[in-house]
A = this chain, B = another copy of it.
Amino acid sequence: MNNLKGAAIIGQSGGPTSVINASAAGVFIEALKQPNITRVYGAAHGIKGILNEEFYDINQEDLKELELLKTTPSSSIGSVRYKLKPLEEDDSEYKRLLEVFKKYNIRYFFYNGGNDSMDTCNKVSKFFKNNDYECYCMGVPKTIDNDLWKTDHCPGYASAAKYVATTFMELRCDATVYDTPMVAVVEVMGRNAGWLTAASALAAYKGSGPDLIYLPEVPFDLEKFYKDVEKVYKEKNGQVIIAVSEGVKTKEGKYVPELVENNVAVDSFGHKQLGGTASVLANLLKEKLGVKVRPIELSLLQRCAQHLAAQHDVEEAFGAGAEAVKAAVSGVTDYMIGFERTYINGKYVCKYIKIPLEEVANAEKKVPLEWITKDGTGLTQDYINYALPLIEGEPAKAPLEDGLPRFAKLKKIFVNK
């Protein structure tokens, strides 16, 4: 124990997941138990909520509703896409944060997000230290992209992967029901790392998945793509299902939507709007094959499908939040909670580890190239062995009321400024 008494605050940042609320619940419930934590706050919309002194008083919430956060998708306290200005250019936001932390005597700071959030957490922590303000800052990981460095996997990934794999299995049943050709191009999230698209390989492993899988880790070659599709088209009587990451790009670095001319709609503000990867590829294939090609975007559904959340994921996301609190009150700062897997009697077990924020902040973990098949359109058994234990078991879904999920209902009482 570090014996420093003070309030704790958590902020959440970046795209939500099915289990980011579970991590918030882990922080809230563990922090409420800690004798040295005098008050627990939830920042409204991450770092912006702290800058604006807009945070919720978690001590006034019902424990039952906080428990329900474990099975409530997305971020109940709000997320944000906001980067602090670089300290060397402008330190005013850092000063403002320090002012707010001092005003409310916040001594425990938890930031829940991906690489950028870990970078923010690290910078804030360093600034506080340099200004002699004692505050324990811990990162809590989250991302469906699964691209955080030095952790076996990230909270949010397994649930999204379970959704993607299940959905591809179902789509295979549906899309191949007629005796006429049917090509479907299914777009999965993941701008730089192909982890989530790779999850479609779990469906293929079960015999009911995509025929071809394209990850951003492999340079995308349109001519090769045509050949790949034509080959399967012939072999499978015109029934082809393709999984493609939104982030695939050519060796010249061009994203798929940039490969076609005129695929740029300009709105009234002059913003360029690129067509999606799936719809562009579907149009190109339609021309090439002369058959119906259906683009399908899994869109937001893949990151909020709580009804298919993976058990381990919910537990680990909650655990990551709780572990961060335990570490902070014992005097640890500037680390992110990470995961290490072990197998005990062949059974998957997740161990919590601590990774220096600095190491996580500026690195990105991609799918290892040796886990991608030589033809660049599938995953090896190594990936299957990696991913399958993460998604095992029944979904850890919200309790039902009238057959529909009962999500947490927080009071969300703002702390008086």
Contact = CB atoms under 8 A, between A and B. Distances in A.
A286 interface: yes
A115 interface: no
Give the interface size class of chain A: 35 or more
A301 B301 contact: yes
A336 interface: no
A346 interface: no
Contacts of A395: 307
Contacts of A415: none
B179 A45 contact: yes
Interface stretch (A119-127, A131-139, A218-226, A402-410): A402-410
Nearest to A45: B179
A45 to B, nearest CB: 5
Interface stretch (A89-97, A98-106, A261-269, A366-374): A261-269
A24 to B, nearest CB: 12
A174 B404 contact: no
Contact of A170 (B283, B304, B391): B304
A267 B296 CA distance: 19
Contact of A404 (B44, B74, B391): B391
A268 B166 CA distance: 35
Interface stretch (A60-68, A146-154, A201-209, A250-258): A201-209
Contacts of A265: 283
A173 B301 contact: no
A287 B301 contact: no
Query: Which are the 7 A-B pairs with shortest beta-carbon distances?
Result: A174-B304, A74-B173, A392-B403, A391-B403, A170-B304, A74-B174, A45-B179
